[in-house]
Structure 1
Amino acid sequence: MTAFIIAIVITIIAAWLIIKNYQPQTVLLLAGLALLTITVILHPEKSILYGKATTTGSTWLDIFAFAKGSLSTQVAGIGLIIMAAGGFASYMDHIKASNAMVNICIRPLQVIKAPYLILALGYICAQMLHVAISSAAGLAMLLLVTFFPVLVRLGVSKAAAAAMIGLCAFMDLGPAVGTANLAAKHAGMETAVYFAHYQMPVAIAVMLVVSILIFFTAKYYDKKDGHTVVIQDVSKTDAQEEDAAPTFYALLPIFPVALVLIFSPLVIDTIKIDVVTAMIVGTMLAFVCELIVKRDFRACCKGVQVFFKGMGGMFTSIVSLLVCADIYAQGMQQIGAIDYLLESVQNAGFGFTSMTIVMTLLVGITAVLTGSGVAAFFSFSGLAPSIATKFGADAVYMILPMQLMAGMGRSISPVAGIIIAVSKAGECSPFMIVRRTLIPALGGIVTMLVTNYLLF
């Protein structure tokens, strides 16, 4: 009981600091080390080791060796996947392949002359683009440059168009997304299987509900704000660049995703390609395409450096957070707080479904308060496997709603980077954007929880 109270106090302090915009990596690292230190004090006979690591000979030094074990394990595993995906995404932006893909996807929508229908269909298109363009902020910036002017010229208000783009990464889907890779790891399955068998069935239902709610919500708020629909010529948009990439470049961002899905138990199980290998193959294919198009070997070689810079950027922002969150989660395990919590809820009659809802809402609330879906999910995802094991359930049934909720919470957070960015384009405050995203988001959250329960 004492250890549990201490763990809760440390968690509350850590959460408060993160909400107050203290660096989450440092906060989680200090919280984890504090939990491990208190474990040594309260239970000196207990071994503080990470996995199968060997002791340094001193229990106190084992605390810091624990951090080293987490760093080496996470960087060599899921961290490398996240860095490779980030590097590939940066290279796709550099050669403007992402722009080419977005332009190809939105072109058919320009034929439709029903503004709010295009807005609803645009969300589905944008959400599917997120499978290949892993960065939510990056995808939003592309859509603001390309799709936003089209929507405005078709007659919807700037606020409505901005709010839809703010929902473009409502769910983090696909093998290229860091949270999806971590979820698959915790669920003990390949990322391709997690995406195709678990994410997509739920995502399809959510996308349909969210798109319908976007349609009616946008019309309601535009009418309430006195907006008049005036259709202009969409050919006058400024989205086309003089140095735009060739059209076939639109296939490059989805190439690694296709490789991962094809060479997996889903299609061809005799050959297996992991995410990192697929990203390297995709980068080399893009390099060859650049060489053929530009015929400048020196410039193309220099361009590939963007891939490695992107990897470094992902380590700084995401992988470091993953490591620190892992140390915090492991500290909660070591001190015995998780075991005590599980025993308490089981004695109180809580079942696995109730615990899933509680953990999912915990991730969602954290994402809303911090504006970071990644930080929210990484902080609590490590607890899901042990909780599921205690209830004798499959971890994926808890980890899936938690992972999807991370993006959902971000979409209704006025402090989220993507919401702030689109609010500037919409010429309104982030709170006005959240007012428009709230109803579609709540509908999507309820649909996600119900669908997850019914299907699995």
Structure 2
Amino acid sequence: MTELLIGLVITIAVGYYIVKGYKAAGVLLTAGISLLIIAGLLGHSVLPAKVASTGNLFTDSLEYVKYMLQYRGGGLGLQIMLLCGFASYMTHIGANNVVVKQFSKPLSCIKSPYVLLVAAYIVACLMSLAVSSATGLGVLLMATLFPMMTAMGISRPAAAAVCASPAAIILSPTSGDVVVAAEKSGLPLHVFAVETVLPVSICAIIVMAVAAFFWNKYLDKKDNTPMERVDISEMEVTAPGYYSILPFLPIIGVFVFNGETIPGLKLDIYTIVVLSIAIGALVDFLTNRLNGKITLDNLESCYAGMGDAFKGVVMLLVAAGVFAQGLMTVGTIDNLLALADKAGAGGIALMLLLTALTVAAAIATGSGNAPFYAFVELAPQLAGKLGLSPAFLIIPMLQASNLGRTISPVSGVIVATSGMAKISPFDVVKRTVVPVVCGLITVILGTLVLVPMYS
């Protein structure tokens, strides 16, 4: 229990200092390194198995920081920088203004920005079928839908929350955690994902959409949040109308090239964004009558946006990753697992306990996968002791891990979306917390109604 208390105290301290206005990246990095050193002093291995030790406790903790810089800076970080650079480029050449101008005409009949918010949320949820990474999807939506949402009158925190939320409920039947959950449940993938999980997911998404409508409307009024609806008649649009397609090139590319739509051709999100930038530059070059100097000058805005993304978003992701590793290394997750194993509760009580522990671990670590993969190993054993169906325990845990991540101020998707929106992670979490709670309640009730308790 000592490790659990250490993790809890340091997590509370992190929240306190961030609320007090300390830079989040520095706070998380300091807390993460401290946890890694404490873990080493308690006899735990500081580094994961795939990272070679330096032979010293202190330098091992710094070695993990280097690993995260390489892993997140070169992987997810590169994706974020590319998308942020693309978004800056689209703004600079005027493509985003063209989108707002054109879309405002058919949407002008919808007077409430909160109806638009719900529509954007549903579209974002459907996008999760094509982009499995929560952070990757959040960044993609921030680069494409966010400017349009804010221009149409949706507040910045509400629009960022929409971009951060679509992966809170799992829809894709082929995502890695669904495949693992089906295996541990002892059910065929199509039965587990489509016949069991999907109905619960659809109900949760509907409830979360309704909750987002009323909760964001309440917060905007309570906090007197500035609404940025653009007066279209006064908007200066210098780019031609066909530029309106350019901001959506990454989304189109995901659907066209991220599967087998074109036989033998499959591009990942990085190449899709680079291709989108290249197409944008080519269109800009032709529009400017083959003036290469103007085209290259405009591209500088893309590079500047990438640099700003590294400073404002990627370093936060690195720091959050170090903090999460510190919590897991010091033994916080293992202690939560021990609590679940000792629970001598009935079927419903055990399901609620495992769900609560999964949510708590997801909030603390900012990861959806890590807590679920840790706890799901327990479910078949605990289910067997009580004669329960493993799916009855696993489905709420599966959804709870993703829901918990969506209200964690240190999760990659919250850090990335808030950084791109230039607001605090807590401002986004405040917008997601009530819809997430409503979604979690729906998942639990849906499991009780639709999933047999006993095998």
Q: What is aligned with 1:59?
A: 57
Q: What is aligned with 1:277?
A: 271
Letter in 2 for 1:108: P
In the superposition, relative to structure 1, how do residues 312 and 218 fare at CA in structure 2: closer, same or farther (>3 Å)?
Answer: closer
In the superposition, relative to structure 1, how do residues 269 and 351 fare at CA in structure 2: closer, same or farther (>3 Å)?
Answer: farther
Q: Aligned partners of 2:212, 2:309: CA distance in 1, in Å?
A: 34
In the superposition, relative to structure 1, how do residues 124 and 337 fare at CA in structure 2: closer, same or farther (>3 Å)?
Answer: closer
Letter in 1 for 2:68: S
Q: Aligned partners of 1:269, 1:297: CA distance in 2, in Å?
A: 35
Counterpart check, 1:330 vs 2:321: no
2:340 pairs with one of 345, 351, 358: 345
**Cα deviation code 1:414-453 (max 9, x no counterpart):** xx899999xxxxxxxxx9xx9xx98x98467514652596
Partner SS for 1:170: helix
Counterpart check, 1:311 vs 2:306: yes
Q: What is aligned with 2:39?
A: 39
Partner SS for 1:83: helix
Counterpart check, 1:401 vs 2:403: yes
Q: Aligned partners of 1:63, 1:187: CA distance in 2, in Å?
A: 29
Partner SS for 1:171: helix
Q: Aligned partners of 1:79, 1:188: CA distance in 2, in Å?
A: 25
- Name whichever of 257-266 and 292-301 sits farther off: 257-266
Q: Aligned partners of 2:234, 2:75: CA distance in 1, in Å?
A: 40
Q: Aligned partners of 1:293, 1:100: CA distance in 2, in Å?
A: 15
Q: Conserved in 2, the CA contact under 8 Å of 1:127 and 1:168?
A: no
In the superposition, relative to structure 1, how do residues 63 and 361 fare at CA in structure 2: closer, same or farther (>3 Å)?
Answer: closer
Q: Conserved in 2, the CA contact under 8 Å of 1:7 and 1:337?
A: yes
Counterpart check, 1:297 vs 2:296: no
Q: What is aligned with 1:450?
A: 442
In the superposition, relative to structure 1, how do residues 174 and 39 fare at CA in structure 2: closer, same or farther (>3 Å)?
Answer: closer
Q: What is aligned with 2:374?
A: 386
**Cα deviation code 1:31-63 (max 9, x no counterpart):** 1111111122221xx443244222223333222
Map 1:57-206 to 2 at 5 A.
57-111=55-109, 115=111, 118-127=112-121, 134=140, 143=149, 145=151, 147-148=152-153, 166-172=157-163, 187=177, 206=205
Give the percent of matched residue pairs that are identical in Structure 1 and Structure 2: 24
**Cα deviation code 1:336-390 (max 9, x no counterpart):** 1210111113323464664445654787xx8xxxxxxxxx884777545434444
Q: Aligned partners of 1:324, 1:301: CA distance in 2, in Å?
A: 34
Kindly state the Cα deviation for residue 254 of structure 1 after the two structures are TM-superposed: 1.7
Q: Aligned partners of 2:341, 2:292: CA distance in 1, in Å?
A: 64
Letter in 2 for 1:69: Y
In the superposition, relative to structure 1, how do residues 208 and 49 fare at CA in structure 2: closer, same or farther (>3 Å)?
Answer: closer
Q: Conserved in 2, the CA contact under 8 Å of 1:171 and 1:203?
A: no
Letter in 2 for 1:263: F
Q: Conserved in 1, the CA contact under 8 Å of 2:407 and 2:436?
A: no
Q: Conserved in 1, the CA contact under 8 Å of 2:99 and 2:148?
A: no
Structure 1: any 5+ residue segments left out of the alignment?
Answer: 149-161, 190-196, 223-233, 367-375, 410-415, 422-430
Partner SS for 1:259: helix
In the superposition, relative to structure 1, how do residues 306 and 396 fare at CA in structure 2: closer, same or farther (>3 Å)?
Answer: farther
Q: What is aligned with 1:12?
A: 12
Q: What is aligned with 1:156?
A: none
Kindly state the Cα deviation for residue 324 of structure 1 after the two structures are TM-superposed: 1.2
Q: Aligned partners of 1:203, 1:100: CA distance in 2, in Å?
A: 34
Q: Aligned partners of 1:65, 1:213: CA distance in 2, in Å?
A: 41
Q: Aligned partners of 2:238, 2:107: CA distance in 1, in Å?
A: 20
Q: Aligned partners of 2:433, 2:326: CA distance in 1, in Å?
A: 33
Kindly state the Cα deviation for residue 98 of structure 1 after the two structures are TM-superposed: 2.1
- Name whichever of 75-84 and 393-402 sits farther off: 393-402
In the superposition, relative to structure 1, how do residues 391 and 72 fare at CA in structure 2: closer, same or farther (>3 Å)?
Answer: farther
Q: Conserved in 1, the CA contact under 8 Å of 2:32 and 2:324?
A: yes
Q: Aligned partners of 1:293, 1:139: CA distance in 2, in Å?
A: 24
Kindly state the Cα deviation for residue 166 of structure 1 after the two structures are TM-superposed: 5.0
Q: Aligned partners of 1:417, 1:57: CA distance in 2, in Å?
A: 36
Q: What is aligned with 1:29?
A: 29
Q: Aligned partners of 1:10, 1:215: CA distance in 2, in Å?
A: 34
Q: Conserved in 2, the CA contact under 8 Å of 1:84 and 1:276?
A: yes
Q: Aligned partners of 1:212, 1:417: CA distance in 2, in Å?
A: 24
Q: What is aligned with 1:263?
A: 257
Q: Aligned partners of 2:435, 2:324: CA distance in 1, in Å?
A: 31
**Cα deviation code 1:394-419 (max 9, x no counterpart):** 88534432344469x9xxxxxx8999
Kindly state the Cα deviation for residue 307 of structure 1 after the two structures are TM-superposed: 1.7
Letter in 2 for 1:64: L
Letter in 2 for 1:241: M
How much is the aligned-residue C-alpha RMSD, in angstroms?
4.8
Structure 2: any 5+ residue segments left out of the alignment?
Answer: 128-136, 180-193, 222-228, 381-393, 412-417
**Cα deviation code 1:313-334 (max 9, x no counterpart):** 2211221111111111111221
Q: Conserved in 2, the CA contact under 8 Å of 1:377 and 1:402?
A: no
- Name whichever of 8-17 and 344-353 sits farther off: 344-353
Q: Aligned partners of 1:260, 1:217: CA distance in 2, in Å?
A: 29
In the superposition, relative to structure 1, how do residues 63 and 237 fare at CA in structure 2: closer, same or farther (>3 Å)?
Answer: closer
TM, length-normalised to structure 1: 0.66
**Cα deviation code 1:15-40 (max 9, x no counterpart):** 21122121111111111111111122
Kindly state the Cα deviation for residue 273 of structure 1 after the two structures are TM-superposed: 1.4
Partner SS for 2:159: coil
In the superposition, relative to structure 1, how do residues 406 and 172 fare at CA in structure 2: closer, same or farther (>3 Å)?
Answer: farther
In the superposition, relative to structure 1, how do residues 267 and 290 fare at CA in structure 2: closer, same or farther (>3 Å)?
Answer: same
TM, length-normalised to structure 2: 0.67
Letter in 2 for 1:96: G
Q: Conserved in 2, the CA contact under 8 Å of 1:24 and 1:321?
A: yes
In the superposition, relative to structure 1, how do residues 390 and 305 fare at CA in structure 2: closer, same or farther (>3 Å)?
Answer: farther
In the superposition, relative to structure 1, how do residues 291 and 389 fare at CA in structure 2: closer, same or farther (>3 Å)?
Answer: farther
